[in-house]
Amino acid sequence: MIITVDGPAGAGKSTIAKKLAQKLGFLYVDTGAMYRAFTLKALNDKVNFADIDRLVFLARETNIQLKQMENNEIKVLLDGEDVSGLIRTPELTNAVFKVAQIPQIREVMVQWQRSYGESNNIVMEGRDIGTVVFPQADEKFYLDADINIRAERRYNELKEKGIDVDMHDLLEQMKARDYKDKNRSSGPLKKADDAILIDSTGLSIEEVVDTISSYINDEKRK
């Protein structure tokens, strides 16, 4: 069974998809972490982002693993090295779009992502999962929330990690990222026509997980 969760940053995708996967006993797959880890590698290797052949070559020889830990956290391994912390810095976040807008790189990522669905029950979250990666998914959700709430959530997440950012800058960066994610020609952020829209603005995490779970149970009963 394949469940997709798409939506913009700070809508609650990661927290909710992770909890949902745990509840269902499914594998949780964070595709943003894949784009982030590959961007880190390209930056470390000082690849010119305009050199698409070189980037694609690099992507093909990159190994990214999402390792589920006992405490339900996910470790992101880039060629065997734990980069979970390094891929969440604001600098890296602002660089990901350069890689994520390249259709040839998205193709490589989409191949990796589809391979997860071949032999596992999964909850996969991202931007284009219900539209491009798994258009035939069993259940699709599109999670959104008011931009101010999303920025506040992200601000708190970063603060918890000891990363201090200016709230106003963060809000502007998130608006810019939303725009880029929604307007790129390859794999844009878009609600699939058959995805269920959930606005998490006034809802707690538990309420969103319960809402999604009830849709899944209804579907199973059919």
Distance CA 180, CA 57 (A): 25
Q: Which stretch binds ligand CDP (CB under 6 A): 45-53, 58-66, 122-130, 194-202?
A: 122-130
Q: Which of 16, 66, 96, 208 binds ligand CDP (CB under 6 A)?
A: 96
One symbol per residue from 36 to 55: x for binding ligand CDP (CB under 6 A), - otherwise; what is it? x-------------------
Single-letter residue type at 39: T
CB of 7 to ligand CDP, least distance (A): 8
Output the smallest distance, CB 166 to ligand CDP, in A.
17
Cβ-Cβ contacts under 8 Å for 133 (sequence gap 6 or more): 4, 31, 110, 113, 114, 124, 126
If one asks whether residue 31 binds ligand CDP (CB under 6 A), the answer comes out as yes
CA distance 90 to 92: 6
Instruction: Count residues near ligand CDP (CB under 6 A).
Output: 16
Q: Which residue among 126, 131, 141, 155 contacts ligand CDP (CB under 6 A)?
A: 126
Please tell me the distance from the alpha carbon of residue 82 to that of residue 86, in angstroms, as a whole number: 9
Least distance to ligand CDP, CB of residue 177, Å: 5
Contact 150, 8 (CB under 8 A): yes
Residue 9 or residue 212: which is nearer to ligand CDP going by CB? 9
Q: Is 133 in contact with 124 (CB distance < 8 Å)?
A: yes
| Cβ closest to ligand CDP, residue 139 vs residue 144 | 144
Burial of 70 (0-12, 13-18, 19+ CB in 10 A): exposed
Stretch that binds ligand CDP, among 75-83, 95-103, 138-146, 205-213 (CB under 6 A): 95-103
Identify the DSSP state of 193.
T
DSSP 50: T
Binding site for ligand CDP (CB under 6 A): 9, 14, 31-32, 35-36, 96-97, 100, 126-129, 177, 181, 187
